Amino acid sequence: MPSPISVSSGDGVARLQWTGEVNTDELRREIAEALVHHSRVEALVGAGDTRAQRAATWAGLHREGVRRGVGPDGEQQDQIVFARLVTDAPVHEPGGFRSLLNSFLPRKRAIAQMLVRDPEGRVLLCQLTYKRDWDLPGGVVEVGESPRLAVQREVEEELGLEVEPGDLLLTDWLPAWGGWDDAVCLVFDGGTRPAAALEEVVKQEREIRDVRFCTLDEVDELAADFTARRVRAAVEGDQPYTESGR
């Protein structure tokens, strides 16, 4: 019986295709044979074909991303890119298995922000260049970066202020919204600084339009509703976890 798996080659890459059910052991053998003469083996699997995705994963192919909008015959269909390199650690080794799992398990975006107040209890807000709403200083945590270091870095980059992050005040989950995936926002205590600290601010012009200390009523007026709820929850300090500030 002929194999349902076809192998093509080009640019030093072996490309696997199959239709219908495929035996994982057979797919694994085809991958191993292809890696004898190629440095990379890849397969494009339909985003809705969960059985084929499962077979590709358990045969040792890492999930690398999504090829959007182009199916095998030019139709509008997303395809998931699976691949294996000749240098990838064997799946039966702990490091190789963890790397395989890491390629397809969910990843959550993290945002780190800082709550800085003046002696009157007003909150430091930034007017951002890329959206209308005001927000707390901070930003996205980079891959491999701790949230605490991320917020310290962001405040220094955006405002030119060196502020040592204090305790974690709030963990706020943000649902998917407006083209963004969901995320977790961590708000750290930035302590109290005099109102004159605004004179020390060096705005990163590409991102920051204005900075000011705001009362909570002003926060409600200037910030998005979910941001205002998050700020109030962080200020009140009686809820360690919220979802969209609630």
Domain CATH for 175: 3.90.79.10
Q: pLDDT tens across 21-79, in order? A: 888 999 999 999 999 999 999 999 999 999 999 999 999 999 999 999 877 776 788 99
CA distance 52 to 66: 15
pLDDT reported for residue 10: 87
pLDDT-derived band at 2, boundaries 50, 70, 90: low
Q: Enter the tokens of residue 64.
A: 């690398």
Domain end point (choices 104, 138, 166): 104
153 and 96 inside one domain:
no
> Do both 216 and 123 map to the same domain?
yes
Does 80 share its domain with 147? no
For residues 120 and 238, state if they share a domain: yes
Q: Are 117 and 237 within one domain?
A: yes
pLDDT of residue 19: 77
pLDDT band for position 1 (cuts 50, 70, 90): low
Q: Examine the domain organization and report whether 114 and 173 are in the same domain.
A: yes
Domain span holding position 57: 5-104
pLDDT digits (tens, 9 = 90+) for 141-195: 999 999 999 999 999 999 999 999 999 999 999 999 888 899 999 999 999 999 9
Average pLDDT (82-98) is: 95
Kindly state whether residues 34 and 135 are assigned to the same domain. no
- In total, how many domains does the chain have? 2
Query: What local confidence, expressed as pLDDT, does residue 100 receive?
Result: 95
- Does residue 61 sit in the same domain as residue 18? yes
Tell whether 61 and 136 lie within a shared domain: no
Cα 206 to Cα 9: distance, rounded to the nearest angstrom: 45
46 and 132 co-located in one domain: no
Residue type, 234: A
